[in-house]
Amino acid sequence: MGWKLPRIEGNRADYREDPRWVHPELVNYENWQGSPRNTDIGAVLTDPDRPIEERKKARLEFSEGVAAKLKEAESRLPESVRNQGVWKEFRGDAYPDIDPDDDELSPIHVLVREPRERTGEPLPCVFRIAGGGMMFGDPREFQPWLLETSHRQNAVVVSPWFRGSVEGQYPASINDLHAAFRWTVENAELLNIDPDRIVITGASGGGLLVLSLAFRLKRFGYRPRGCVANEPITEDRMVYPSQKGLSGQWDGIHMARGLKQYFTREDYNSPFLGPEALVGRATVEDCVGLCPIFIHTSEHEPDRDPTLAFMKTLYQAGVYAEVHQWGGTIHGSLYVGDADQPYKQRYESIFQGNIADCLKYDLRRDWYWDEKNLR
């Protein structure tokens, strides 16, 4: 018996497929009526009746196909951007002490983009986590973004391979990302980066992981300059109005399906989950001392409402936080599609500006926590 979508009864769902919901500049946006990534490959990868080896093979083939297409897209970027930097890959041993209960910890494997012309001074670093419903952990799927960000920020961009939910359920992804971040800090001299100027960022499933990683790193004493997330998943308790919106793209049904695979049956919708699993579970006390947080979310995004609730918790904890709510958009509108799309360009300028703020200024509020005797 294969995967079946949940039954939808009467007025329990809020349908948003009508293009009249969309911002005028996105009317012809190709993903408004649905994406094969979510409707086809997502159904394959989260089908509990499909053998796991078959799902792993499908995940690898899909990732390699996307990487090949994006490599072609990279070739169409301006020569000045393409020639500004160089690609490198690094590998390292796993860190068994990160989670002694995880006997399948992945060795370190990171893709790095660094500026070609360097003065010798350590550069800032952007630590980018790949997205894809928590199912994918291949940085090659986002190479053009890595390249352009290195160019815009004059920074070293580090993006790790990690176990997606097809290869391992929570906390496998967080363990691998924790290890990759630790490797990045410990190898700052090799990478010629400033370990005190690292920003972590990701979108969609990568947004979930980058926010979760912020809480994990805080627990282990790491202090990134900031966290910039796009359309993150923050909550699995399907009680918010936005989670009942159906857009034909990534909506509440897709999100629930992805989260059920990301967690074990016992962990999904569990009252025992904490913010390292889903930040929607964070208390004010959990958030005290967290690095600055910037979040972008869409109007017809299933996680819109829980994201806004999480931001209120951050403000109560005195964390530097910004939220950008983009009207007339669905999941993926902001970071998928043509680079010359005007709406996307406006979003990208602000998103990159958030990263630049974190790299230029120290927005961490040590003074506040010290004055309140919270640390």
Domain boundaries, the chain: 14-371
Winning range, highest mean pLDDT, from 2-16, 81-95, 269-283, 309-323: 309-323
Return the axis-axis angle of helices 172-186 and 205-219, rounded to nearest 10°. Answer: 60
Lowest mean pLDDT, pick from 233-242, 263-272, 304-313, 322-331: 263-272
User: How far is 47 from 242, CA to CA, in rounded Å?
Assistant: 25
Give the homologous superfamily in CATH for domain 14-371: Alpha/Beta hydrolase fold, catalytic domain (3.40.50.1820)
Query: Coil, strand, or helix at residue 87?
Result: strand
pTM of this prediction exceeds 0.95: no
Q: What are phi and psi of 374, to 5 degrees?
A: -95, -10
Mean pLDDT for the stretch of residues 158-177: 93
Lowest mean pLDDT, pick from 58-67, 69-78, 138-147, 341-350: 69-78
61 confidence band (pLDDT: 50, 70, 90): confident
- pLDDT digits 0-9 by tens, 79-131: 777 778 889 999 999 999 999 999 898 899 999 999 988 778 999 999 999 98
List Cβ neighbours of 45 (8 Å cut-off, separation of 6 or more): 55, 58, 59, 133, 135, 165, 166, 261
- pLDDT digits 0-9 by tens, 254-290: 888 888 889 877 788 888 889 999 999 999 999 999 9
